[in-house]
Chains A and B, each alone.
Chain A
Amino acid sequence: MKTLEDILCRQPETLREALTLLSDEATRGVLLSGGTDLIVQWQAGAVPMPEQIIDLSAVPELKNISEQDGRILIGAGVTHAAIRNHALTRGALPALVASCASIGARQIQSRGTLGGNVANASPAGDASPALLVADACVVTASLAGERCIPMKDFLLDYRKIDRHPDELILRFELTPCPKGGIELFSKIGTRGAQAISKVMGACRIVMHKGIVEQIALALGSVAATAIRLPETEALLTGKTLTEKLVDEAEACVMQEVHPIADIRSTAEYRRWVSGRIVRGFLASRMTGFGPPSC
């Protein structure tokens, strides 16, 4: 019977090496980043143990955080802990930082990576809503070159991403929160910490004199993938934020989500609390209170 020790592990030390391994079917093992989800899934038998893996933990090109042409670049191998601590992300991407702080606990944050979290493509993937509201692009790479795919197109379906077999996720490129804008994050979990979410939401909003100039809303755990809420965003953009508009937005959100019942929560509660999370985001902009507690 297969055990972890039976798995053939290749550990490239450069990006080129990794892409070369991927380019050849014979050496195209399952990609392993932090392993915080995969190792658990393999041991549980939820996902069959692979014959071989390509361990990306030693590839330095995946570990950078930098700024370029007004965009923030985060390597796929950057850990949640690193995102929490880095000045660039802390300054410009508060929802992403808050998401990373909500993943597991310290021990998981030290190991789990942004790329791993997105590639795992769980509907409850904690980083995805924040990435969606930051208009993130996923940059994939193969020996043939790089592709830049908008996050919302990258998440295809339940645990399915737009990654070709010979590609890996190289980095994420995000737009920083604009001047005058604010980012909010809310996670409804099963307890105070170390909890998979029932519903979570991220919001990026720019208000001016009570009018919603720009708004991006994204929710996780309410559909097969994390989703933006285009109808609710359209309803709000350019309008003066009033109680009545907030009521309408709440109702619109409830229409846009497709939650299921599972061991963590009911479909009805998820649908309702999706609207409530957005209500909370908007209400905080009306009264000027801080973001709702995560």
Chain B
Amino acid sequence: MTQQSESSFRIIGHSVTRSDAEDKVRGKAQYLDDLPMPGVWYADVVRAPVPCGKLRGLHFDESFDWTQVVTVTPEDIPGENIVDMTGLDMPFLAFDQIQYQGEPLALIAAPSKALAREAVRHVRAEVEELPAIQSIQEMVERHKTGWADSLRLLEKKEIRRGDAEKVLADSGKVLEGEYWTGFQEQLYIEPQSMAAEPMEGGGVYIRGSIQCPYYVAPELMKALNLPLEKIRVEQTVTGGAFGGKEEFPTLPGGYCALLAMKAGRPVKMVYDRHEDILFTTKRHPSWTRYRTALAEDGSIAAMEVDMILDGGAYTTISPVVLYRGILHAALGYRCENVTVRGYVYASNSFPCGAFRGFGAPQAYWGLESHVEDLAEQAGLAPDDFRLKNCLQEGDVTPTGQHLLTSVGTPAVLKEALRRSDFHEKLARCDHGRPDAKSWYGIGVSFFAHGAGFTGDGEAKFGSRAAIELGRLSDGGPGLTIYASSTEMGQGAKTVLAQMAAEGAGLPFERVFYPLPDTRVVPDSGPTVASRTTMVVGNILYHAGHKMKRLLEETASKHCFGGASVRLEDGRFFAEGVAARLFEEVAEVLLAQGEPLRTEHQFVLPPHIRWDQEHFVGDAYPAYSWACNVAEVEVDPLTLRIHLRKITAVYDVGRIINPMLSIGQLQGGLVQTIGYALMESMQVRKGLYDANRLQTYIIPTALDVPEMDLHFLEYPCGELAPGAKGLGEITMNGLAPAIGNAIRRATGCSLRSIPMRPEDLYATLYQGAKDQ
């Protein structure tokens, strides 16, 4: 059950070259802004000038020739002025209340970007400004001091197991700690890009850089007053997303659609970077407070967590981020008394949104920083404490889920500690001793990530995908996959084709994964939640098997005189006759004219039970597990932090493509280096202050330390071929590992990220209580 798996796969588990690499290195891959769009106009947005207030009027300057452009105001919206997302609280165009600076008030399309921008400057919003909430610090202050009613609560949720409050009250020694994280911008290198054009017979065709075609279409139905079949959405080659193109693109997609429908011509919108940073979603800032008590034997007797997220101005997907946040806030160690209380409050800034990790990185910053203090209190080294208390097979999570299968803990923890020589290196840590030329520190974190939608989400959703025999672009026969999952760099196009090819008994090269178009693909669900390889891969693996049987049956009938046929690795075998190549047989089958298509719908293993109201039961179909070890050197002269080495071990179930998996891990870890050490933004004067690449700092090739990365495979037996989730867990644990290393290097516990020399200085030399 807990052994490493063996595999007899032909394609799965092999580092097949990704199918889109060639076009990309030749400069031939066409992103939205590369597509020729004759006659297209350019969209721009009139935006609210204050973070909170009442809109009294919109004035269009008469000195501008408005006949040159097309404008859309709330009155022009064909249906309801509402974005169909959770809470139904966000209009497309603000018309009365302004809830964040930059909130769209009107839309403009013009033959050139410059003219559109000029038109925007000729619209004046008359506003009555009102007091705004602009920081999580303010939010937490009000929450703590009993003034939470003055805040807009977007969602709250609780997890309870046992009676943490009682155990803490009875305990002599409650350990308390507060932890903070800030905004983070996804910083995909391709900015937000969308285009729309009106369709013949009514309706609209939307294209763009998106993760979820089936989010965009339904969410626009109310505003466009169109049925789903009249909103066609197609993904274009996407230059990075990380969650930033999950729910957000509905907005620019909607702007382009509204303008295109009014103008009767195609309209596109490609954000410039400054605009992109200012007016798109960010990772939710967070505050967590841990109150814990140890039992006599050094185990954790009780854990109480309060978590607050800053949701920005509207609900959008904040509830789901909160759910994942609270589900991970105490997910790591055995404890029978756990209470987690989570809240998302609104503030007057751009609605926060999806970003790789989706609440879990925030949760683990708190948990894994706090565990360092717990370990100290227990008199145990940080590795020993974790080894003693970490969840293992047979244990129960805070929601009461029994960890029975595919449980890569404590394996990942042990392996990372072993590979990094953690225990030996502990003795070398400098703890800020004077007269040291350099302060060395090593730190560890242990964490998980629930793969797939929470609870019975996957069951409710019923994702579907299909495979069809046809002709590929090289003229030869092959399989085309119809699924709504999107390739955004992570390799989905390749690994999904690998799984389909494996199931179908064909070579990888004969399977094609096109850009999803809602006109032709079923809804396999959004490309989020680390679900694609696990869930959609499972669907395509089964659809692939179905296709194999269908091909065998059809080949038997048309090519083998009814004999029993086996399709294996691109060849048809029958008793007593020479094997025949797929290419040859497929030509015959195609000529018959019967469509050869198989479909499959996702079936969640039935034993997974979840109570959404009480947050009890099996929170996720499977968990990935990981351990990160970070080694730092802090320069006592300047307090600069140099990351020297990362050791990381992950159990993400079956590895479908080792090269792509390592690539995801490397990328996610480097993105987390930015989160932990460099990426910093606040809302100042209504807007994010670091709003250009000169000021919003992400890692370069010179900021990457030595990395020792390793996978242990504990395949998910119930969901063949056994992958779990990889994309997001890469971001969950590195920040606290680095923080714990800095703590051992300097003697200084930093409670908020990013961690910078200025923060070390304030704590070490200015006596600042770390905020």
The judgment on whether A and B are partners is: yes
B-binding residues in A (CB < 8 A) = 1, 3, 40, 44, 105, 188, 190-196, 263-266, 268-269, 272-273, 276-277, 279-280, 292
Q: Which 4 A-B pairs have the closest CB atoms?
A: A192-B702, A1-B118, A269-B758, A193-B702
A276 lies within 8 A of B637 (CB): yes
Compute how far the CA of A279 lies from the CA of B274 in the bound complex, rounded to whole angstroms: 39
**Interface range on chain B (Cβ under 8 Å from partner):** 20 to 34
Compute how far the CA of A268 lies from the CA of B762 in the bound complex, rounded to whole angstroms: 8
A229 → B minimal CB distance (Å): 18
Chain A positions within 8 Å of B117 at CB level: 1
- B758 touches which of A40, A195, A265 (Cβ 8 Å): A265
Q: A3-B114, A292-B637 are in contact. Are A194 and B700 (CB under 8 A)?
A: yes
A193 lies within 8 A of B700 (CB): yes
Chain B positions within 8 Å of A196 at CB level: 694
A269 lies within 8 A of B637 (CB): no
Q: A191-B678, A277-B638 are in contact. Are A263 and B700 (CB under 8 A)?
A: no
Compute how far the CA of A190 lies from the CA of B638 in the bound complex, rounded to whole angstroms: 13
Q: A266-B758, A277-B638 are in contact. Are A192 and B703 (CB under 8 A)?
A: yes
Sample of 19 A–B contacts (CB below 8 Å): A1-B118, A1-B121, A3-B114, A44-B692, A191-B697, A191-B700, A191-B703, A192-B702, A194-B700, A195-B697, A196-B694, A263-B690, A266-B761, A268-B766, A269-B639, A269-B757, A269-B761, A272-B765, A280-B638
Chain A positions within 8 Å of B274 at CB level: 44
Closest to B765 in A: A272
Compute how far the CA of A44 lies from the CA of B114 in the bound complex, rounded to whole angstroms: 14
Q: A188-B638, A265-B758 are in contact. Are A1 and B695 (CB under 8 A)?
A: no
A1 lies within 8 A of B702 (CB): no
Chain B positions within 8 Å of A277 at CB level: 638
Chain B positions within 8 Å of A272 at CB level: 761, 765
Compute how far the CA of A192 lies from the CA of B640 in the bound complex, rounded to whole angstroms: 11
Closest to B119 in A: A1
- B695 touches which of A263, A279, A280 (Cβ 8 Å): A263
- A192 touches which of B118, B639, B700 (Cβ 8 Å): B700
Q: A192-B700, A193-B700 are in contact. Are A280 and B637 (CB under 8 A)?
A: yes
Query: By DSSP majority rule, is chain A's interface helix, strand, loop, or mixed?
Result: loop
Residue B658 at the A interface, CB < 8 A?
no
Chain B positions within 8 Å of A191 at CB level: 678, 697, 699-700, 702-703
Residue B689 at the A interface, CB < 8 A?
yes
Compute how far the CA of A294 lies from the CA of B758 in the bound complex, rounded to whole angstroms: 18
Compute how far the CA of A273 lies from the CA of B766 in the bound complex, rounded to whole angstroms: 14
Compute how far the CA of A44 lies from the CA of B638 in the bound complex, rounded to whole angstroms: 33
A180 → B minimal CB distance (Å): 26
Chain A positions within 8 Å of B114 at CB level: 1, 3
A200 → B minimal CB distance (Å): 12
B487 → A minimal CB distance (Å): 29
Compute how far the CA of A277 lies from the CA of B766 in the bound complex, rounded to whole angstroms: 19
A268 lies within 8 A of B121 (CB): no
Closest to B121 in A: A1
B482 → A minimal CB distance (Å): 42
A41 → B minimal CB distance (Å): 11
A169 → B minimal CB distance (Å): 24
A112 → B minimal CB distance (Å): 14
Given A1-B117, A191-B697, A263-B689; 11 other pairs, CB 8 A cutoff: A1-B118, A3-B114, A44-B274, A105-B700, A191-B699, A192-B703, A194-B700, A268-B766, A269-B762, A273-B638, A273-B639
B697 lies within 8 A of A190 (CB): yes
Interface centre among B121, B638, B690, B692 (most CB of A within 10 A): B638
Closest to A267 in B: B758
Chain A positions within 8 Å of B701 at CB level: 193
A218 → B minimal CB distance (Å): 18
A264 lies within 8 A of B678 (CB): no
Chain B positions within 8 Å of A276 at CB level: 637-638
Compute how far the CA of A194 lies from the CA of B699 in the bound complex, rounded to whole angstroms: 10
B270 → A minimal CB distance (Å): 15
B673 → A minimal CB distance (Å): 10
Closest to B117 in A: A1
Compute how far the CA of A277 lies from the CA of B635 in the bound complex, rounded to whole angstroms: 12
Chain B positions within 8 Å of A1 at CB level: 114-115, 117-118, 121
A22 → B minimal CB distance (Å): 30
Closest to B704 in A: A192
- A190 touches which of B121, B678, B765 (Cβ 8 Å): B678
B429 → A minimal CB distance (Å): 22
Compute how far the CA of A160 lies from the CA of B637 in the bound complex, rounded to whole angstroms: 33
Chain B positions within 8 Å of A292 at CB level: 637
A273 lies within 8 A of B757 (CB): yes
Interface centre among A44, A188, A263 (most CB of B within 10 A): A263
Chain A positions within 8 Å of B761 at CB level: 266, 268-269, 272-273
Chain A positions within 8 Å of B638 at CB level: 188, 273, 276-277, 280
A23 → B minimal CB distance (Å): 33
Compute how far the CA of A100 lies from the CA of B192 in the bound complex, rounded to whole angstroms: 34
Compute how far the CA of A244 lies from the CA of B690 in the bound complex, rounded to whole angstroms: 41
Compute how far the CA of A268 lies from the CA of B756 in the bound complex, rounded to whole angstroms: 13
Compute how far the CA of A266 lies from the CA of B699 in the bound complex, rounded to whole angstroms: 21
Compute how far the CA of A237 lies from the CA of B392 in the bound complex, rounded to whole angstroms: 66
Compute how far the CA of A190 lies from the CA of B639 in the bound complex, rounded to whole angstroms: 12
Chain A positions within 8 Å of B692 at CB level: 44
Compute how far the CA of A192 lies from the CA of B698 in the bound complex, rounded to whole angstroms: 10
B537 → A minimal CB distance (Å): 36
Closest to A289 in B: B437
B640 → A minimal CB distance (Å): 7
A214 → B minimal CB distance (Å): 24
Chain A positions within 8 Å of B765 at CB level: 272
Chain B positions within 8 Å of A3 at CB level: 114
Closest to B694 in A: A196
Compute how far the CA of A266 lies from the CA of B690 in the bound complex, rounded to whole angstroms: 15
Name the interface residues of B663-695: CB closer than 8 Å to any CB of A.
678, 689-690, 692, 694-695
B194 → A minimal CB distance (Å): 22
A7 → B minimal CB distance (Å): 13
A260 → B minimal CB distance (Å): 13
A272 → B minimal CB distance (Å): 6
Chain A positions within 8 Å of B695 at CB level: 263-264
B195 → A minimal CB distance (Å): 22
Closest to A190 in B: B697
Closest to B700 in A: A193
Closest to B636 in A: A276
B50 → A minimal CB distance (Å): 19
Chain A positions within 8 Å of B703 at CB level: 191-193
Chain A positions within 8 Å of B697 at CB level: 190-191, 195
Compute how far the CA of A192 lies from the CA of B644 in the bound complex, rounded to whole angstroms: 13
Q: A190-B678, A263-B689, A272-B765 are in contact. Are A279 and B700 (CB under 8 A)?
A: no
Chain B positions within 8 Å of A192 at CB level: 700, 702-703
A279 lies within 8 A of B640 (CB): no
A147 → B minimal CB distance (Å): 33
CB 8 Å contact bits of B696-724 with A (1 = contact, 0 = none): 01011111000000000000000000000
A25 → B minimal CB distance (Å): 29
CB 8 Å contact bits of B627-645 with A (1 = contact, 0 = none): 0000000000111100000
Chain A positions within 8 Å of B637 at CB level: 276, 279-280, 292
Chain B positions within 8 Å of A190 at CB level: 678, 697
Compute how far the CA of A195 lies from the CA of B696 in the bound complex, rounded to whole angstroms: 10
